[in-house]
Structures are given as C-alpha cells and as structure tokens.
Structure 1
C-alpha cells in the first residue's frame, strides 16, 4: 500500500491514516526492541484508535515502567520460547509433549518467576501484577527435577525410572564384560577386525573377520560395506542382550508415563500460563517502546480530552533516528484560537515532513509510546491524511482525480473530532481551478470545525488564510543565499516558493528569466495589497502586545507597592503594640511598688487611713481603663449572633481582644463583641447530628463523640488532632462509648490511616476502658 492509498478502497480509514504516516516503520522498529515473541505480538496487535480511557491506561503503564527504570528497578530482558501451541495441545485429552517442549514450558515459568520478582521490587500499580505472573511452584519444581538442559528426562523424574536405569546400567556392564572375554581370549586374537564392542540393531555385537566365519557359534546381525567384517552376537550372549532389550523397552514405557504426567500437569495450569503470557507481552512491549523512545529523544506527553493540541520541539521520529541530533524542532498548536493552519514554502522545505510528524506523534501517543515532541496532545476520534501521489493507471486515476476521490471521503466523514492532514491541496490541475477547489474544501472543513493542517504553493490559499477568522498562516523558512531550507516554521508569514531564484542560480538563460520575472510581477500586484494588509495586522498585534506588557508591568509595580505598604503597616502595628505593652508593664510595676509600701506602712503600725488612700490611688489608672471598656457578657450567656441572626451561647470571653467564642451549628468560632447581643430569654436550637467539638485549648485531653454520626465524628476527630498537633500535644483521648462499636471502629481506622498517629490503645479501666481510646501523636 502506498502512503496515499485511496480512501475509497476496502481498507478502513484508520489503516489509511496510519499507512500514510509511516506508522508501520515505527511498529517494525518497536518490535525489534522486544525480547520475546509475546512482546512482539503485543506490538503487532496494538491499535491506536481506541477509547481515551484505554490510551490513558497505556500511558500510565509506560510512566510506571519509566519511573521504575529511573529508580533503578528494571524489568528482566530475556528471550522466551513460543509455547502457546504447546498449551493448546496439552489441553486435549491424552496429549503428550516431548521433553524439549516441556523444557520450553519450564523456561517460560522461570521467566514468569523473574518478572514477578522484579515487579515486587517497587510498590506501585504494577506490584499486583506479580500475583498473576507467579508460576505454580510445584509445576516448576517438578519440571526442573525431571528435565536436563537438553530436555532429556533425568533419573530423578520418577523412582521407577531411576530403578530401571540402574538396572540398565548394570545390564550394559554385564554384557560388555562378557564380550570383552571374547576379545581378550588368547586363541581368538586374530578373529577380530578391531578389539571393539559394537551396537547393532539395539544389541551389542563383535566385529568378526569374514574369513573366520564359523569358528564359533554366533548370530550374524550385519555386514560391513566391503564385506570383510561380520557383526556377530555369540549365542552365549543372546540372553544378556535380550534382557537389555527388555530393560530398554521398560525404560521407554516409563519415560512415556512420566511425559504424560508432566503434560497433564502443564495442561492444568495452561489457563494461568496464558494470562501470564499476556502480562509478559504487555510488559515487554511497553519496555521496548521506552527503549525505542531513547533513539529519538522521546518523551511521554499527556493526551487531553479535547481535540486540541499545543506542541513544541515537534520532530519526525524516523528522521530523528536516521539523523540523530540534526532534526529541527517546531512549535505547532491548533484547536483553540485557530481550527486550520495553511503552511506554505518551497519544495523540500519540510512541509510534508511536518504534517507526517504531527499525525505520527499522535498515533504513537495513542499506542502508549514516547513521542518526539513536548507539550499537550489532543484526542481525535478519527484522522484523515491525503499525502503524496496516489495515481493509479489500472483504476484510470490521475494524480488530481485520485486526490479528489480521497477528498470526497474526507468531506463526507470529517467532523469536529477529526484530525485532517492535506498535502499540496489543489495540485495537479490548472492553478486557478485547483486553488478554487482547495479554498472550497478548506471552507467546508472549517465549517464542521475539523482540526485541519494543509500545505500549498497557491497564492489563493495564502490570501484565504489571512482573510478568514480561525485560520492561521505559516511558512517554512528558506535561505535564499545558500538555496537551502531551514526547516523552521514561521508563524504569520507565508513561505515563498523561490522557484525563480532557484532557477536563476541553476543557470537558466538570462532572457528567459527576465521574461518569467516580468510575468510574475504582473500577477503579484494583487498580492502586494494583501501583504500590506498583513503587515498592518501584524503591527496592530504587536502594538496590542506592547500595551499588554506595559499593563502587566504596571500591575506588578502596584502589587509590589501595596506589599510594601502592608509590610509598613504591620511593622507600625507591632511597634505600637510593643509601646503599649511596655507602658502597661511600667504601670504594673509602679502599682506593685505602691502596694508594697502600703503593706510595709500597715506593718509598721502607721495611719491605716493614709494607707487605704494610697492603695486606692494606686488602682486609679486601671479603673480608668476598665471604665472605658464596655461590660462583657459572661460565659454561658445566650444571645443573638447578629450577622446570621442565630441564637448562640458564649463559650469563652477574651477581654483583652474584645472578642467572644460562641457555639454555632456544632462549631466554635471567635467573633467581635459588637456582633453579639445578649438576650437570656432566647432558647438554643437543638441541632440533630451536630458535632460537639471541644478545642484542645479548653479540653486538651478528651474529645466526646458520643451520639454523633460516623462522618461527622470523623471530621471532629480530624480537627481535634489538628488542634492538638498545633499546640504541641503528644496525646489525646477520644470518648466514643461502647454502644454498637461503630465509633470505636472509626477511631481505630482513623489511627491506622493518619500518619500523625503513632499508636492507638484503649484507656485503662479507671479512665473509661473500652469506651475511651488514647492516641499517641508524633
């Protein structure tokens, strides 16, 4: 399939989009990084067009593995054999696997064990996968005890097999000793071609020279190719060989029995092994994707819920792998202020590569791969790419007709959740007709709010981008002096094609170039007006930006000035408070001195009337202050909280700060004295389910939760611990009663979950026993 396969064919648009953007090249490189076939299958069967929730799951898995790798805990990279066909086989009744096949199963089980151990090294979302990966210990141990490194059965596979093989070894030794007697017999030294014992047809025989045939009674089992050697079995050795053959048959039967039992054991675990293989494939595939991302300096970028994106350092990952460190990154954003982007510029300037980079990075992110960009990706439910030449001689389609055929399908299916990439729109026909068609297509896609990026050399498309709201214009940079592209996207500027400049540098005849430039100048007059309009818009935008910058600077200055004033006011308040504190201290010292003098005078027996007058005089400054302060209500007084018109009761009185602590809706708060009006005739409302909370300042050692709902009691306990921690306390008591045990269980659960609680215990019997919990705090 070409990169521009027709959308009208039998291939779904998802495959067309992926093929046009070279996703299969990325998938091939990705699969090459996998360590075993299960990871390769995961990569091969992964599809980018899935629900957003699944995309987020893929990215979370990749982030989890990336964090593990950064912490020094990596997954094992090990080659595992393909055993899924063996698992299908052992589930059939009576199926038997060969020793090598069972050895491969054992290798996979060992791989499961290593993966599970690696997952348990870090406590995160992947740790629970270790349970599914753990192989059956008994099956793995049984396979390891039964098979050697070549897949042959060991003597330890069964007690019967061990006994049979012991008998076999004894039988072989017996017959070899017996036959050695023939070889060493002094009268028969010349009978043998070589003094060797040979195995023929599963029987031990001797190599007799054909010329000595009949010298002793024996059975001929074979003859050499030259006919000079006969392989004979002495009649006296027949019984020993027969016994050896029977022992070998018994061994084969026992081996068959052991293999059948091992295959049945594997069959019982086949379902769990398949589940483990799915996890192994996913883990290896994601690990391989992160490894591939290092080749193009990729990063895991979040995928938002809306079909909008804002990227910077956007590059084509395949180009990054081919030319490390040389690919230019660009900033590209669409979907918020603009729904369309028209990119212009010279050939080989990077327009098509930028289109493919955008679409390919979105698909890679949907697959859970790192991308060659930074920023925020958007979620598109479908994508369309009309890129490259899709002419088809067999279908009688020219370049232009093939492009129009694909555009028709795009216009039929594109919507506000679509990403549309159109390369060289309107190319392949008369520029005026192609330009008109290109503008009409762009307008249609703009009307349905499809997120569209298109490239074009046509002047009409540049004018369209400058004159239409929601459409942005950008051009690929080009160095006219060196005739080389810069590959940098320049926003707000249409990239020139530089065709005449390039032709002149290459050496086209001067008269011809002069004529071409004159013709081009006539057509450019209208464009100059558009260019002037563009320059005016750019100047206006720059002026607005400058004004916004000045306004921001003024706001910063005002904020700093206000902060300085606040700091000065705070310092002045602290200074006045300190002076008042010093004045009160001096008054208090003076009063104490006068009292001491009066007491001394009384002790000396002087005039008591004068002493009383002096004592009265020393209290005058304090009476003056007290007279100036309005009378405060007493603790327990009822009255009205004026802002909310709620009846409340005074819990505490702060005369120095002229404030009251009241009980309101199960909470305690401080209010200014002016917001309270005493009225003893008012009745306190009964609040069902309210939490009676005593702050640590009043009752630092006990909180009463009896009669409270569980959620309200939890909140009260949390506030109680907050206050105790703030006041530096290391122990609190919670009175919850015995009852049905709900509140007691809540307190225990709180103590287990809150990191500030170091210990929980029931109170001693004299302190309340099972109805009171004691919490030790950090």
Structure 2
C-alpha cells in the first residue's frame, strides 16, 4: 500500500459502505494527484454522507474550476511545504522560528500570491476567494528581503547585521593579511608546513612544523594527527583574533534578534495564513479530483434532492482506469416506477461490478468528484452493501451466518432514504431455504420503500420480480456463440446462470460435464428454454439499436469537427488580416516619421544628399512587399551592421522571422535583415575586448572580465597583476561571472601557472561566490 493509501485508510469517508465499494482506492488515487499536503488533507477528511446543500456546493466548486480550465485559466500545480506546525509554534509567547522554517512560510505566502492572481483572472464566484487567499504583502516582502534560498539571513535583514558583517569581513581580511606577513618572512620560510592560513577553534592560525616549536612566540591550538604540524596563533595576532571572535558573537546575537522579530511578524498573521492554506487545500483537492476524472472519462453529474436516479453509460471508475475504453456502460433507473431491481445472469457476467459501480459513483458525486456515468444521481442519506464473503473463523461466522448478521443490522436501520445493494442474496445454504429468506428480505425492503438493487441465481427471485409491482427484472447478457458474457444489462429478461456452459469453457472434464447436463435436463423448467430464445431475439434488437446509435454518434462528431474546422479557419483569416493591418500601419507610421525628419533636415540646410538617401530608404519597405524577397545571407557572411557602421559576421539565420544573429564586440545579437548589408570585401577587425581594467591606484581590488574572449581576458589579467605587484598589493579580486565557466577556468589556470600567485580561492557568498575569484600575490 502506498503512503497516500495508508493515509486515506483512516479517512472519515471510508465507512463500511464505502469500504465494501472500494472507495479507498479512489481516495488514494485522488490524494496522489494533489500537489501539496493541504490538498491531501482536504481529500482524506471529506465525508460523503453530508447535507444536500454541501454536496451542491462541492459540485458547484468543481464546475467553476472546470469552466475556468476550459477558458484557459488553470490553478497552479506547485509543491508547498507543510507549515501548520510552525504556525502553531509561533503563536506561543517567545517562540522563535529557524531560518529554514521562515523560508517555508515565505514559500507558502508566495504560493498564496500565485493562487490569488489566477483567481482574479476570471470574474466568477471564485474571484471572491482571492481576497482571503492573498498573503500579507508586507510580511512576504520582508521575508524575501531577509532570507536567501537556503533560509540563511541576508545582510539586508537589518542595518545592524549589515554593519556587523561588513566589520567581520574587514576583520578577516586584516588578520589574514597580518598572518600572510609571517608566511612570507624570508627568515621563517622553513618554519611552516604549508603556506596556508587555517581555522582552529574559531581562530585563524598557522601550520608550524613541530621541529621548530618555540622559534616564534605563539599559542598552540591544535596538533595534526601525525604530530608533525602544530597549529599556532602568534601572540601578536591574539588581539585581532579576539576582536574577530567578539564580532562573530555580536553577529549571532543580531541574527537571533532578527529571527525573533520575523517570527513575531509571522505570529501576528498565523491565523490568516492558516485559513488561507485551508482554502488552498480545497482548491488543490478539487483540481486533483477533476484531473482524476479524466482518467475514467468522468463528468460532473447533478444530484437530485429525491432518492431516485436515472443513469446512462454507468461504468465502474476503477475498471475504466485499468482498462481504458473497454468497459461496457449500462443504463439504470430506480426510485420512480420501480423501487427494486433484481439482476440475474451468468457467473463472471458483471453483476457485482454493476452493483459496486452504482454505489461508488453515488459516493464520488457526494464528494464532489466527476462520475463514470451520465444522467442524474439521487440523494440518499445512508447506504448499505452486503457484498462478498464475510466469513470469520475467529467470530464463528460461516458464509451464510455472516450474511444474515449483516442483513439483520441493515433491516434495523433501513428507511425510504437508503440505497441498498445486495449480492447473491440467500446463497450459502439450501437453495429452497435461502430463496425463501431472500424473498422475505426483499419484501421487507420493498415495504420500507428503500431503493434496492440485488443479484441472485435463484429461480424464486426471478418469479418474485416478475410477479411483484414496483420490482423490475433484468439479466446480464451472454453470447451463446462465443460462450462469453457481454456485460450488458437487458431489462425485463431473467438471464440464465450459464453455470454449466462456463464450467465447460474453463476446462472441466467432458464426461463429467455430460453427466451434469443430463441431470440438469430432468429438472429444468420449460420457461428457461423460452428465455434463452428471447435473449437471442433481444440481443439482435440490441445490436441493431447500438449500430444506429453509433451511426448517429459518428454523424454528430463529423458535424462538430466540421464546425470546429470552419471556426479555426475563420479565426486564422481574421488573425492574418489583423497582423497585415498592424504591419502596414507600423510601416506607414515609420515612413511618416522618416519623412518628417528628412523635411526638417532640408529646412536646416544640412546634407541634401543624405536627406535624399533617407527618403529613398523610407520607400524600401513598400518596394520590398512588391518585389520578391531577396535571398538571406548565409552563416559566415561578412558585412556591415548599418546602425553602428560596424563590420560584423553572421553566426545564425532565422528565415521564419527574417532576422540574423551577428557577433559584435564579443556579444551575440539578433538584428532584422534590413539592418545588415553583406560585403565580402570587408575585413573583420580584431576584437580588443571590453576590459574594465583600472589602475591599482583607482580600483586595486577587482578586475571585471565579463563579456571578454578568453585570450583577451588572459592579457587583461596579466596587466592587472603587473600593476598590483608594482603597487605592493598582496590580493586582487577577479569578476568573471558564473556563465559557462570558461573565464572562471582561465583564472584558475592563470593562478596555477603564474609564480606570482600564491593562492587562489573562490570569494565568499556575500562577495559574489562562484562568480568572483580571489588571488593572493607574493
């Protein structure tokens, strides 16, 4: 059993009636289609036996969402974290949520915002829900400004935190620079195990060889596993480390203060958020129910206020999901002309499946789900189902005694607003005694005016149905030629059990079957043979009706398809006309603008030749419409980018949109064809890059290489390091961006090859993270 099925196993909707009808499987499939836990909670806490007004509300909500989906406005399917425990916690005095918990609250608030935006797209009954679902914008904005993707506090969470972290960064820089002086001292080069600054016990220390212990005044904080390295803190660095520890403590205190303030803000809105997520759960649950309905071609069927129903194409939804397009639909109607229906027919002919389909579809409609039927359902206040073998050795219950026990409970509680489903009534004992009991139970249910559907193989029940007003008889069809059931319900016909025929088809020994048929022929009544002939005639009539219905359905489909095609052609024609109209209007507007500029140029006495050329260019779009479109230039063609008068080369061609992709100053740029003039004689200039280099005196700490080619960036980095070394700088930062990693790899390769670089490391997240490299110089 899946986790969702385990959850739904204790759902309120699963009373004994629902369990017998396998509603548990429907609820498990429904909950599995929910996007978040709030939708799953809505599903597993639903109950089918509710007031008719609530059933109508569920149906109306599902209908609204279905109409919105047809109109193109669908609810977001997004995973939301479970925050109700955090909301309960934050309402306690003094409670503080962790950063990750606050991040989950922020994610739910953002989900509320998306839901509210979709609900406002269409003006209907659901648009009023948007106001209740819309999150408190100030709280959402504050959480987003204070937390990163991992739930850690950002510098922008508070002014004090930003100042403390700036002070921390400066302190780290100062002490690292101070300790670098020890590592680079030429007199102490042999003292160090490695040219590294490490962190021990929250303090920056140096790796001193154990053999040089005592050479410098320092405090030993740790020792390597081999004992050959001592991690020492020079006495002159103690004050710097102490200050760094104090700054870290102040940072932690400020972070706790910020978390406390944010938690208090969430606590003030906890009740509203809890109500909103409940609404989100209802919306997601109903959306998932409509999605589930597509799996069995379900439709939303209205529920009448009376305990009567008239259904067409009734199918079992679970069978439809297992065998798409293969399940036979049947028509059923009870409550008006007939109060009871007795179904007979062959074994494995579909009698029990039809019983379960009727009860299960009623329960699904009460829950607000689409059903596998068409027509109208009835409103029943309670349901009873005696289906299957309930024998229990531990309770000393045989098959027959278990059935009688359930019938006893049923008869004590049944009324005119009950739906009763009985399978194989009276079996498990002597057929004459079982038949007498079955008929007595049926008469009692008929007197109580309960809507009852029962199955039986007993002859006495067939005679009961034929001779009693208010009781209908029907049989499941059987194809005598193929010896297989048809699963179609035939009204007014008592179907034969066909037990001997099915036994032979299964493979019972032939001599045994001949003896059984001889014994049966002696006791068989004449009317049973006539029933077989009637079934053949009815089957032929039913086939003719099915063929006529199929032809009518195909004609309707063809008419609808033709109508859709005509409508699509009309819309396409209107769209093309509108696009052409807009395009010409834009061309005319551009032409007017160019003419006005040209006239103004002529009035001021400027270059008349340029003005004439501009007028000639203005008419180019209109001549282009009349002339055949010229061939597009090929990839690799050189030419002139007219707006900037720059020589460039084509890298890609988009013939559909009449545009080109060119290489310009290290960037890929899409331009209209009209802005490019091909000229193979032009030579491509060498791209000198766009280095944002500045001398170390002005910007000694950062070099921006973004947008440059690799070779140009290498040269720029060499020049930058040259200038930094000349100025006595010991550290530079290189901004290369995250992109495809080419520039970042180039910087790492430079650091490995250049002897002037002693160490490379990635910058801290607040300094740019993976998009910035820090180089330590000798």
CA shift in 2, pair 1:77/1:455, >3 Å: same
Q: Match of 1:56?
A: 56
Q: Match of 1:70?
A: 70
CA shift in 2, pair 1:417/1:530, >3 Å: farther
1:575-654 correspondence runs (5 A) = none
Q: The residue matched to 1:255 in structure 2 has which SS?
A: helix
* 8 Å contact kept, 2:494–2:531: no
CA shift in 2, pair 1:114/1:226, >3 Å: same
Q: Match of 1:309?
A: 309
Q: Match of 2:328?
A: 328
Residue 230 of structure 1 pairs with residue 236 of structure 2: no
CA shift in 2, pair 1:504/1:81, >3 Å: closer
Residues 360-418 of structure 1: per-residue CA shift (max 9 Å, x gap): 00000000000000000000000000110100000010011000000001111111100
* 8 Å contact kept, 1:183–1:195: yes
Residue 477 of structure 1 pairs with residue 474 of structure 2: no
* 8 Å contact kept, 2:495–2:531: no
Tell me how far 1:526 sits from its aligned partner. Answer: 6.7
Q: Match of 1:341?
A: 341
Residues 147-179 of structure 1: per-residue CA shift (max 9 Å, x gap): 001100000000000011110000000000000
Residue 453 of structure 1 pairs with residue 477 of structure 2: no
Residue 423 of structure 1 pairs with residue 412 of structure 2: no
**Where in structure 1 are there 5+ consecutive unaligned residues?**
2-9, 539-778
Tell me how far 1:477 sits from its aligned partner. Answer: 1.0
CA shift in 2, pair 1:121/1:198, >3 Å: same
Tell me how far 1:61 sits from its aligned partner. Answer: 0.2
Q: Match of 1:108?
A: 108
CA shift in 2, pair 1:202/1:527, >3 Å: same
Tell me how far 1:500 sits from its aligned partner. Answer: 2.0
Give the whole-Å Cα distance in 2 for the aligned partners of 1:11 and 1:75: 25
Q: The residue matched to 2:524 in structure 1 has which SS?
A: helix
Residue 130 of structure 1 pairs with residue 130 of structure 2: yes
Q: The residue matched to 2:521 in structure 1 has which SS?
A: helix
Give the whole-Å Cα distance in 2 for the aligned partners of 1:145 and 1:509: 81
* 8 Å contact kept, 2:12–2:47: no
Tell me how far 1:521 sits from its aligned partner. Answer: 3.1
CA shift in 2, pair 1:191/1:413, >3 Å: same
Tell me how far 1:347 sits from its aligned partner. Answer: 1.4
* 8 Å contact kept, 1:480–1:501: no
Q: Match of 1:182?
A: 182
Over aligned residue pairs, what C-alpha RMSD do you find? 2.2
Tell me how far 1:348 sits from its aligned partner. Answer: 1.1
Give the whole-Å Cα distance in 1 for the aligned partners of 2:503 and 2:254: 86
* 8 Å contact kept, 1:14–1:49: no
Give the whole-Å Cα distance in 1 for the aligned partners of 2:369 and 2:471: 31
CA shift in 2, pair 1:505/1:136, >3 Å: closer
Give the whole-Å Cα distance in 2 for the aligned partners of 1:437 and 1:104: 62
Give the whole-Å Cα distance in 1 for the aligned partners of 2:188 and 2:84: 60
Q: The residue matched to 1:477 in structure 2 has which SS?
A: strand
Residue 84 of structure 1 pairs with residue 84 of structure 2: yes
* 8 Å contact kept, 2:312–2:329: yes
* 8 Å contact kept, 2:339–2:446: yes
TM-score (norm 2): 0.66
Q: The residue matched to 2:289 in structure 1 has which SS?
A: helix
Tell me how far 1:509 sits from its aligned partner. Answer: 5.5
Count, aligned residues: 529
Q: The residue matched to 1:310 in structure 2 has which SS?
A: strand
* 8 Å contact kept, 1:463–1:530: no
Q: The residue matched to 2:347 in structure 1 has which SS?
A: coil
Tell me how far 1:519 sits from its aligned partner. Answer: 3.3
Q: Match of 1:265?
A: 265
Residues 97-136 of structure 1: per-residue CA shift (max 9 Å, x gap): 0000000000000000110000000000011100001111
* 8 Å contact kept, 2:11–2:44: no
Residues 640-674 of structure 1: per-residue CA shift (max 9 Å, x gap): xxxxxxxxxxxxxxxxxxxxxxxxxxxxxxxxxxx
Q: Match of 1:15?
A: 15
Tell me how far 1:504 sits from its aligned partner. Answer: 4.0
Q: Match of 2:645?
A: none
Q: Which has the higher contact order (CA 8 A, sep 6+)?
A: 1
Residues 525-584 of structure 1: per-residue CA shift (max 9 Å, x gap): 37559969999xx9xxxxxxxxxxxxxxxxxxxxxxxxxxxxxxxxxxxxxxxxxxxxxx
Q: Match of 2:244?
A: 244
* 8 Å contact kept, 2:11–2:45: no
Residues 256-315 of structure 1: per-residue CA shift (max 9 Å, x gap): 000000000000000000110110000000000000000000000000000000000000
CA shift in 2, pair 1:518/1:28, >3 Å: same
Q: Match of 2:567?
A: none
Residues 726-770 of structure 1: per-residue CA shift (max 9 Å, x gap): xxxxxxxxxxxxxxxxxxxxxxxxxxxxxxxxxxxxxxxxxxxxx
1:142-161 correspondence runs (5 A) = 142-161=142-161
Tell me how far 1:478 sits from its aligned partner. Answer: 1.4
CA shift in 2, pair 1:198/1:508, >3 Å: closer
CA shift in 2, pair 1:530/1:463, >3 Å: farther
CA shift in 2, pair 1:532/1:195, >3 Å: closer
CA shift in 2, pair 1:510/1:140, >3 Å: closer
1:403-552 correspondence runs (5 A) = 403-505=403-505, 508=508, 512-525=512-525, 527=527
* 8 Å contact kept, 2:314–2:329: yes
Give the whole-Å Cα distance in 2 for the aligned partners of 1:113 and 1:226: 58
Q: The residue matched to 1:487 in structure 2 has which SS?
A: strand
Q: The residue matched to 1:258 in structure 2 has which SS?
A: helix
Q: Match of 2:701?
A: none
- Bigger drift between 12-21 and 381-390 goes to 12-21
* 8 Å contact kept, 2:345–2:476: yes
TM-score (norm 1): 0.66
Q: Match of 1:696?
A: none
Give the whole-Å Cα distance in 1 for the aligned partners of 2:214 and 2:11: 81
Q: Match of 2:396?
A: 396
Give the whole-Å Cα distance in 2 for the aligned partners of 1:501 and 1:99: 72
Residues 458-517 of structure 1: per-residue CA shift (max 9 Å, x gap): 111111110111111111111222222111111111111112223345565566444433
Residues 173-230 of structure 1: per-residue CA shift (max 9 Å, x gap): 0000000000100011111111000000000000111111000100000001111111
Tell me how far 1:327 sits from its aligned partner. Answer: 0.6
CA shift in 2, pair 1:192/1:279, >3 Å: same
* 8 Å contact kept, 2:12–2:46: no
Structure number, greater radius of gyration: 1
* 8 Å contact kept, 2:347–2:498: no
Q: Match of 1:374?
A: 374
Q: The residue matched to 1:127 in structure 2 has which SS?
A: helix
Give the whole-Å Cα distance in 2 for the aligned partners of 1:206 and 1:96: 39
